[in-house]
Amino acid sequence: MTDGPPITWLFSGTREPGSLDAFERIAGTPLHPIAREHLMDSTHHRTTPFPRLENHGKYLFGMVFVPSNTTNTSADFDRVVFAISHDAAVASVAVHPTSMQDWESIMARTGVTARYESDSCVGGRFLLELLGVTVNELLRDATNLQETINAKTSQLGVGVDLTKDIDDLPADAMTSRQRRTMLQRFRDLGPTLSAIKHEMPNMLGVVNESGDVLGRLVMDDDTVDIKTDTSGEQRELFSKELEIYLSDIWIDCRNLAAVLSGIESSIVTTKEFMKQLNDEENVTSNRFTGAIASIMLLPTFIVGLYGQNFDDMPETHWHYGYGFSWGAIIVLTVAQVWFFRRRKWL
């Protein structure tokens, strides 16, 4: 590679030290050993994804994380390590084992430059497109998560809108049968909701850090811009036109963070409502047990009272004593059943 293309992609099997030489020649500076190490690393490390963007003098170095499979509820990511200068870019992709991303299509998109003004730089255009792909794929992933949550909560049934605040949900207005049905369905769906909730911190972390990178670029932060090219001319790596495009992606990223927060809130609301239902069902079960115990207690007391072996009890020799005891048992039982049903304990 003597001159090389302005944009170079590295995948497994194409990571040769000489692959970075063309970028160094165009950028007019050697890559930092740490940057070179990351660019040459093809191993997908199972660590917390953390987007970054750093100014290394004559080039910017960074990482972005693209969802590996937007139809999968797990928050797995393909990692893209890149270095960009005014006239060149090099990107290294570590593909996650679950990846379904079409990297040929992504490479083609990041190479499109016709829609920008001629004064915009290759590196700036490349990063703009890469960040656009990242946010777009994150949005697709979030949309899939939202649809999954909606589908799962709708399967709980009984017509309860779980998007409401927990205080507005009618747990105490539901019948015991409705509560039991809902709880049984939740036991089947709960693990999926828990798994999504477990993955939300990674999703939110990627979105928030990507938003931070975009915000610094939009705000024209000097720490993430290079104002002078290799020839010494004053030329921003990100022209004003590119900053406008970046601003649009930044707004999408901020909206995406709100969507993910809404998803997380929906999961929490659902789990809290299920806990409330379970508590309500336990209270109902305890009330039912208490009511049955009370209903049985008084007849047992009457039977025990008159079953005592004392000959001088007045009712023992009363002609209507047997009928009186039966009447007392029936009246007290019916009265208790009426009372407990009125209080919805039965």
Q: Token pair 């747990």 is at which residue? A: 171
Task: Taking residues 216-232, report their average pLDDT.
Answer: 84
Q: With 80 as the cut, is the pLDDT of residue 156 above it?
A: no
Residues 6+ apart with CB under 8 A from 290: 345
Q: With 60 as the cut, is the pLDDT of residue 163 above it?
A: no
- Domain segments of the chain as ranges: 7-281, 287-342
DSSP 136: H
* Domain 287-342 CATH class label: mainly alpha
Task: Taking residues 214-241, report their average pLDDT.
Answer: 85
Lowest mean pLDDT among 49-53, 167-171, 183-187: 167-171
Lowest mean pLDDT among 58-72, 103-117, 265-279: 103-117
Q: How far apart are CA 309 and CA 183, in angstroms?
A: 51
Q: How far apart are CA 182 and CA 155, in angstroms?
A: 9
Q: With 60 as the cut, is the pLDDT of residue 4 above it?
A: no
First-last CA distance in the chain: 84
Q: Beta-carbon neighbour count of residue 103 at 10 Å?
A: 15
Task: Kindly list the distances between the CA atom of residue 293 and the CA atoms of 87, 130, 152, 318, 345, in Å, as whole numbers in the listed order.
Answer: 85, 69, 39, 30, 12
Query: Residue 1: pLDDT band by 50, 70, 90 thresholds?
Result: very low
* pLDDT the model gives residue 2: 34
Mapped onto helix, strand or coil, the DSSP state of residue 284 is: helix
Q: Looking at mean pLDDT, say which of 2-16, 33-47, 89-103, 290-304 comes out highest.
A: 89-103
Q: With 70 as the cut, is the pLDDT of residue 116 above it?
A: no
Task: Taking residues 240-247, report their average pLDDT.
Answer: 88
pLDDT in tens, 28-50: 899 999 999 999 887 776 677 88
Q: Report CA 123 to chain centroid distance, whole Å.
A: 32
Q: With 70 as the cut, is the pLDDT of residue 174 above it?
A: no
Q: Length of the chain in residues, anyone?
A: 346
DSSP 28: T
Structure tokens at 33: 């050993």
- Whether residue 128 contacts residue 248, with contact meaning beta carbons closer than 8 Å, is answered with no
Structure tokens at 236: 């921003």
Q: What is the mean pLDDT of the chain?
A: 81
* pLDDT the model gives residue 314: 73
Task: Taking residues 86-110, report their average pLDDT.
Answer: 89
Task: Taking residues 301-319, report their average pLDDT.
Answer: 73
* pLDDT the model gives residue 170: 57
Q: With 90 as the cut, is the pLDDT of residue 134 above it?
A: yes
One-letter amino acid for residue 174 of the chain: M
Q: Classify strands 89-94 and 77-84 as parallel, antiparallel or unpaired.
A: antiparallel
Residues 6+ apart with CB under 8 A from 164: 269
Q: With 70 as the cut, is the pLDDT of residue 247 above it?
A: yes
Question: Could you tell me which of 106, 114, 113 has the C-alpha nearest to residue 132?
Answer: 106
Sheet strands (E) in 68-148: 77-84, 89-94
Question: Could you tell me which of 128, 260, 247 has the C-alpha nearest to residue 206?
Answer: 260
Task: Taking residues 98-117, report their average pLDDT.
Answer: 77
Structure tokens at 234: 């004053």
Residue of 343 and 118 predicted with greater confidence: 343
Helix and strand numbers (H, E) in the chain are 7, 5
- Whether residue 237 contacts residue 124, with contact meaning beta carbons closer than 8 Å, is answered with yes
Cα dihedral sign for 242, 243, 247, 250? positive
* pLDDT the model gives residue 159: 52
Query: Residue 249: pLDDT band by 50, 70, 90 thresholds?
Result: very high
Q: Classify strands 60-67 and 52-55 as parallel, antiparallel or unpaired.
A: antiparallel
Question: Could you tell me which of 99, 30, 39, 38 has the C-alpha nearest to residue 70?
Answer: 99
Lowest mean pLDDT among 7-11, 80-84, 173-177, 329-333: 173-177
* pLDDT the model gives residue 136: 93
Q: With 50 as the cut, is the pLDDT of residue 264 above it?
A: yes
* pLDDT the model gives residue 65: 94
Lowest mean pLDDT among 128-142, 168-182, 305-319, 330-344: 168-182
- Whether residue 160 contacts residue 182, with contact meaning beta carbons closer than 8 Å, is answered with yes
Give the long-range contacts of residues 42-46, CB within 8 A, separation 24 or more.
42/11, 42/12, 42/15, 42/92, 42/94, 43/94, 44/78, 44/79, 44/94, 44/95, 44/96, 44/97, 45/79, 45/94
Lowest mean pLDDT among 1-15, 137-151, 289-303: 1-15
Residue of 314 and 296 predicted with greater confidence: 296
Q: Token pair 């649809």 is at which residue? A: 147
Q: How far apart are CA 246 and CA 271, in angstroms?
A: 38
